Amino acid sequence: MRSPVRVLTAVPICDGHDSAINTINLEFIRHGIEVVYLGFHRYVSDIVRAAIQEDVAAVGISSYNGGHIEFFAEVVRVLRRKGASDIAVFGGGGGTITQADVKLMKRRGVDQIFFAGTSLEQMADYVRDHYGKRRAKRSGNGDLALARKLTEIEEAFTSGKKPQTRTPARNSHRAQVIGFTGPGGAGKTTLIDELVLRFLHDQPSGRLAILSHDPSVVGEGALLGDRATMINSQDDRIFMRSMATRGQAGGLSPATESCLELLAHSGFDYVFIETVGTGQEAMPFRSKLVDQTVLVMNPDYGARLQLQKIVMLDVAEIVVVNKTDLDRAKAALLEIEQRLTQNKRKQQIVATVAKRHRDRGVDELYELITKNGGTRASGASRTAQRAVPTAAKVKSR
């Protein structure tokens, strides 16, 4: 089975017109294309960084606010400068992009512009026909080569072959791997992005990788939209990769484990891995896949009885109750605390409001993750080494 075509779509800086691109994204997905959507009001540098890290075949830009000649040309120029001239640039802007503009834009390296009136079908066909070719290997050690290696792993799994990538040397530096899971809508993405903001301030030269997942069905497209809301993670010190699950249940992709191994040995201090929104029975991380597991919940899990059914509450090292500004938060924190006490393990519970700027709960979670992980020796003695209270302690403000 062939891998789906991957493209990145975005709307330029100072432009919030996302109606057209939203519709086009949906149509692309329907036609089996995986779309990494970066969102609106995006700088050239953010678009190029994302295109390289996601290793897409092409970048689609939807522009309605003028300045398209400069903007498209700049995307092409920066891609080339970064050695990614094999990533094509296409786009549209209704009637705002004239035929004369298109001539000029193509001369500057833009591959294709769709005019007003082009059907969605035609656009999707063009993308599949022109950007579906297998691309050459890349050498070197930078993000460019790493991104291509991740693509090779993903494609190998999709086509049913074992990936060719060598296993990294045992003694090479391994990043701390933190797994984030929990039901859809609990705020995992926002929470990770807020942790990234703290990492960027706290560790002035460190690097961090994020492996994020969105659901998809075998042979179909997917909307990989986490980047659009992760405003702090658009930074050269953050390497982010969005993966579609390509039919695998349980919140991860068939290629996740191999990709994670590669990322863990690619010089990052941390690798954050985010599952798709999971159900009560899910236990997405196999043993030793991650160093710490963070379960992110919101207070609206329903009746207390439901807590007994959530398997991850037995497994996670840290339980985050997000959105504690909601009315039910106090009761939820108490119920979850009691549930964890039954486990008699040294689990931590943290109350956060991730959407709030400078939230103290997120500060606390960042401390827990970075300070605990720093002294990890081996998986077996992990929990014993923690200097934490014996009973789970609710830390709410």
Partner 1 sequence: MSKLGAVVEAVEKHGKFVLDQVKRARTDEAFGRELTERWAKLKSEIPITKAPTGLQLPRFALPEIDEPGEIARYLFGEGLPGEFPYLAAAYREMYLEPLQTNGAIETGSYGNRKSPDTVAAVAGRGPRSRQQQNGANGKSAPAPKVRPPEEPTRLFSGLMLAEDTNKRFHFLSAHQRSKRLSTAFDGPTLYGIDSDADGVFGKIGEGGVAIDTVEDMVRLYDGFDLGSPDFSASMTISGPAPIMMAMYIAAAKRRFGDNVVPKLRGTVQADIFKEVQAQNETIFPVEASLRFLCDMIEWTSENMPRWYPVSISGYHIGEAGSTPVQQAAYTLSNGFAYVEMLMARGADVNVFGPRLSFFLDCGLDVEYIALSRVSRKIWAIGMRDVFGAGPKAQLFKLHTQTSGRSLIAAEFKNNLTRTAAELMLAYMNATNSCHSNSADEPFTTPSEEWIRLASHSQAILLEESGIFKHTMNMLSGSPGMKAVERAVENAIVEEFREIERLGGVMGAVENRYQRSQIQTAAHRYEQQIYDGTRPIVALNRYRNGSDDMPEVELVRTPRSKQQQQIDRLKKFKAKNAGKAEQALDKLAAIVDSDENCFPALLEAAEVCSLGQISERLQEVVGRFRPMV
Site residues (CB under 8 A) for partner 1?
A: 12-19, 22-23, 26, 37, 39-41, 43-45, 65-67, 69-71, 74, 94-96, 98-99, 115-117, 119-121, 185, 190, 193, 225, 228-229, 231, 355-358
* 121 vs 129, beta carbon nearer partner 1: 121
- To partner 1, the closest distance from the beta carbon of 366 in angstroms equals 16
- To partner 1, the closest distance from the beta carbon of 188 in angstroms equals 13
* 7 vs 262, beta carbon nearer partner 1: 7
Sign of CA dihedral 200, 202, 203, 207: negative
- To partner 1, the closest distance from the beta carbon of 323 in angstroms equals 9
* 179 vs 187, beta carbon nearer partner 1: 187
* 36 vs 209, beta carbon nearer partner 1: 36
d(CA 49, CA 113): 22
* 69 vs 394, beta carbon nearer partner 1: 69
What is the greatest pairwise CA distance in the chain?
71
d(CA 93, CA 88): 17
- To partner 1, the closest distance from the beta carbon of 372 in angstroms equals 27
Residue found under tokens 């109350």: 351
d(CA 391, CA 384): 14
Residue 351 · residue 333 · CB < 8 Å: yes
Question: Could you tell me which of 192, 196, 198 has the C-alpha nearest to residue 179?
Answer: 192
* 47 vs 175, beta carbon nearer partner 1: 47
Residue found under tokens 């509450």: 313
- To partner 1, the closest distance from the beta carbon of 14 in angstroms equals 3
- To partner 1, the closest distance from the beta carbon of 225 in angstroms equals 5
- Give start and end residues of each alpha helix (H) in the chain: 19-30, 44-54, 68-81, 99-107, 120-131, 143-158, 188-202, 226-229, 256-264, 305-309, 312-315, 329-343, 360-373
d(CA 3, CA 23): 23
- To partner 1, the closest distance from the beta carbon of 164 in angstroms equals 35
Tell how far CA 206 is from the center of its chain: 19
* 237 vs 356, beta carbon nearer partner 1: 356
d(CA 289, CA 177): 8
